[in-house]
Chain A
């Protein structure tokens, strides 16, 4: 109670401060006078009486300060006072304030921007129940060369029955649909889910229900669940859609539910239908098609689950060596699965940007340290007037926090601007990049908190430097020292040297990392996609089985012929062709084959190639070169001999140096052979992007296998983008109801396939340039300061006959000692850290000598320049002026 009363009174004391101040002075004055009077009465002389009283009563000003601290709310009062004096002081040195704020804004802004991406991709909550326990279960087989692949029905059935680590396992696979009868026909990416799949995810529909257990059995009802996007776009958010029939691929399905807006699993999916697995499929170990989601039991780790499933799998491999030999199980947490290939680059960028901030901190610490040195006298005086040590520390902290928060606010604004460019990391047209789909990077509360937290931390960090330095010193000593002129102590110089050394070391690590990235990127750009992306328009279509039934392939052929004819008639079209799986699109399929004249491989060990289709003009249109034999002609149609074209990689892999022309491949099996004769060899295409291995490609004429998935390619003399509208119209003039899944210039596809790498390379280069700049500034600052400090000494040396070259050498030596120490330290650090990058490099090793040498050279150059400028100034010191400099 008493305490509360005290606080209230003290709060009241914040007002009427001056009256209290006067009263105290009057009270102390009367105290003094009474004391003097008593002394006089005791027989002292007037002067003696006064002197005795003053000595005895102690410092009046110091008492006032203690009294003040006791009186109001000193913390609050001191804070506003500190803030006001900070702002006043900073106003007096605007260049210092501007430099610090700018440095911090860049550092904090870069950090906040990268964090906003991390926040959007790695930290955003997944809209599922306890998402930490959700995992994907994949098959992996090193000898067959795949890291994660879908699982066969047989494997799945045994895993499901034999494991004790999962609460539940749910299978699914993708399935493409054409929706008709609801406005324009639409091509949809769908997924077939087992009935328990939604339950495993722990996701509830916003309307209706998901699947009932009896709906995923063979013969179950044909039902469908819509995505929020599809429901709003095509069904105009009609609440009555539940229970209504829709037509998918000409078959009727009943809508039973609509998922909420956040539900995007798997990404891109618009419609879900039940997955019906029959007994035959669950006993089949050959066809790998299932994508399995599972929920770990509480307390079970991914590692434990993996080891149990691997035990089951090795038993299966013994029973079914032809299909399962060498298989291992790979369990990937859902979060990791969804963030895909972007996780590591993002974390690396976050680390890099953290380095930049540390460098910025060191630089600012150096600046404040130098400034504090100039304020030593002020501090000594304040301390003599009774400012407590804590009070002085608070002043420093207030000042640095004020600076860092100003920098922080500017930084967050910079970050908000930067996120617009960062969205470019996430290309929208490339399905095969394992990157989550992000359309906006919000600056939300978490990002703001992060920015402010980083700013405060930064302020504390660089504010600590002068505190650590000055508070431990005897300030009275400082006062004497100051009166003799400015000299900084050895300790202070060492601290500043260490800060700059650390800065250089961090900059070196960043520079090495960035140059490794740049070199990788350059290597990539020199790589060839194998087709002429600059002048080709592509349009991907899916011919629905409703209008183009599977049993009537001639309808599909007819459609394609018509479309190609219309397109060829367009002005400015050089040629037009079609394939099934467009390079870079992410769609692909494989064919297993055996070769005539070669020994029959063991079952399961047959060679495979990507199963591609082509019309006669496809190769010419794409700019794929014919190396041997011939391309397809109009004569290669149904009924004519079956012919195939292989790419260089496949030709080399299968026949080595022999001539593949005239060789025969069996794409069927032994019982039902399906022979194709090789008539040509074409150049390789990097169908999965520059960074991926070239696959072996087996092309067959579209006319001999009219597949429903179509990619039409059109060669134009100008920019592909200008042709998009005309190509679209040409397709619709052949069939006005045919949905176009995607129409895009191949140049844009090629560009986006490098988006992640381009953005991370650009960012890393920017960060390291920033680091280099800050590091150079740091060295310059320290050397310039050191030269000013040593003006007197240098003057003496020169007066005694030292040559300007020896002075130059002396100063440069001093600076380069720091820089070289930092360089060596940084190269060591880079060597250790660059191992993290190994997986992200292309055509470069993490110990790439040119990158290290380049970094060392650049840094030495920058340091030398940073030392040279102040050194040069030192040699121009006029000895006479310097001697009088005191």
Chain B
């Protein structure tokens, strides 16, 4: 559906958004999308349809908060920033993610099945 670039999974997108906000501080939607695309080395594409519902969900859950501000180019934009709960959630999810990838890596690595 989305052409050749990989569409982002919903669950991981939330983690990426939180991490981005932790790294860069308050940021608008366009900035978040750009940062994610850059970090992925252009492998991921973030469009409206995935980004804004995800931001809304995070805000509803209290991990991020938003307020209107002005961008570098004097454009009105909505800025998102991490809340305290968001920071905790980021730590927790990052740990879980590391664990998951480690486990999966062991499965996928050749010749290391446990006897």
Give residues 59-90 of B contacting A (CB, 8 Å).
Answer: 60-62, 71, 73, 75-78, 85
Bound complex: CA A28 to CA B52 (Å): 9
Contact assessment for A28 and B56 in the assembled complex, using a CB-CB cutoff below 8 Å? no
Among residues of B, the one whose C-beta sits closest to the C-beta of A6 is: B60
Residues of A within 8 A of B94 (CB): none
Residues of A within 8 A of B99 (CB): none
- Assess whether B49 is interfacial by the CB under 8 Å rule: yes
Bound complex: CA A71 to CA B57 (Å): 8
Given contacts A10-B60, A26-B76, A30-B75, contact A35 B49 (CB under 8 A): no
Given contacts A9-B60, A66-B53, A70-B53, contact A31 B76 (CB under 8 A): no
Bound complex: CA A337 to CA B49 (Å): 68
Contact assessment for A31 and B48 in the assembled complex, using a CB-CB cutoff below 8 Å? yes
Residues of A within 8 A of B107 (CB): none
Bound complex: CA A415 to CA B30 (Å): 63
Give residues 10-28 of A contacting B (CB, 8 Å).
Answer: 10, 23-24, 26-28
Given contacts A30-B77, A31-B30, contact A67 B52 (CB under 8 A): yes
- Assess whether B12 is interfacial by the CB under 8 Å rule: no
Contact assessment for B73 and A37 in the assembled complex, using a CB-CB cutoff below 8 Å? yes
Residues of B within 8 A of A58 (CB): 47-49
Contact assessment for B61 and A34 in the assembled complex, using a CB-CB cutoff below 8 Å? no
Shortest distance in angstroms between B58's beta carbon and chain A's nearest beta carbon?
10
Task: Indicate with 1 or 0, residue by residue over A571-588, a CB within 8 angstroms of chain B CB atoms.
Answer: 000000000000000000
Task: Indicate with 1 or 0, residue by residue over B1-45, a CB within 8 angstroms of chain A CB atoms.
Answer: 000000000000000000000000000111101100000000001
- Assess whether A62 is interfacial by the CB under 8 Å rule: yes
Bound complex: CA A26 to CA B31 (Å): 16
- Judged by DSSP, the binding face of B is helix
Of the listed residues B30, B71, B75, B85, the one surrounded by the most CB atoms of chain A closer than 10 A to its CB is B30
Bound complex: CA A235 to CA B70 (Å): 93
Among residues of A, the one whose C-beta sits closest to the C-beta of B78 is: A27
In this complex, the interface size class of chain A, counting residues with CB under 8 Å from chain B, is: 20 to 34
Residues of A within 8 A of B75 (CB): 30, 33-34
Bound complex: CA A26 to CA B53 (Å): 15
Contact assessment for B60 and A5 in the assembled complex, using a CB-CB cutoff below 8 Å? yes
Bound complex: CA A28 to CA B78 (Å): 10
- Assess whether A56 is interfacial by the CB under 8 Å rule: yes
Bound complex: CA A60 to CA B49 (Å): 8
Bound complex: CA A62 to CA B48 (Å): 9
Contact assessment for B28 and A70 in the assembled complex, using a CB-CB cutoff below 8 Å? no
Among residues of B, the one whose C-beta sits closest to the C-beta of A7 is: B60
Bound complex: CA A27 to CA B78 (Å): 6
Residues of A within 8 A of B56 (CB): 67, 70-71
Contact assessment for B77 and A5 in the assembled complex, using a CB-CB cutoff below 8 Å? no
Contact assessment for A34 and B60 in the assembled complex, using a CB-CB cutoff below 8 Å? no
| Contact of B52 (CB < 8 Å), options: A5, A6, A24, A33 | A24
Bound complex: CA A59 to CA B48 (Å): 8
- Assess whether A92 is interfacial by the CB under 8 Å rule: no
- Assess whether A63 is interfacial by the CB under 8 Å rule: yes
Bound complex: CA A23 to CA B66 (Å): 12
Bound complex: CA A70 to CA B58 (Å): 11
Shortest distance in angstroms between B37's beta carbon and chain A's nearest beta carbon?
10
Task: Indicate with 1 or 0, residue by residue over A623-666, a CB within 8 angstroms of chain B CB atoms.
Answer: 00000000000000000000000000000000000000000000
- Please name 26 pairs of A and B residues whose Cβ atoms are closer than 8 Å in the assembled complex, sorted by A: A2-B61, A2-B85, A5-B61, A5-B62, A6-B57, A10-B60, A23-B78, A24-B52, A26-B78, A27-B29, A27-B52, A27-B77, A31-B28, A31-B29, A31-B33, A34-B30, A34-B71, A35-B30, A56-B47, A58-B48, A59-B49, A66-B49, A66-B53, A67-B56, A70-B53, A71-B56
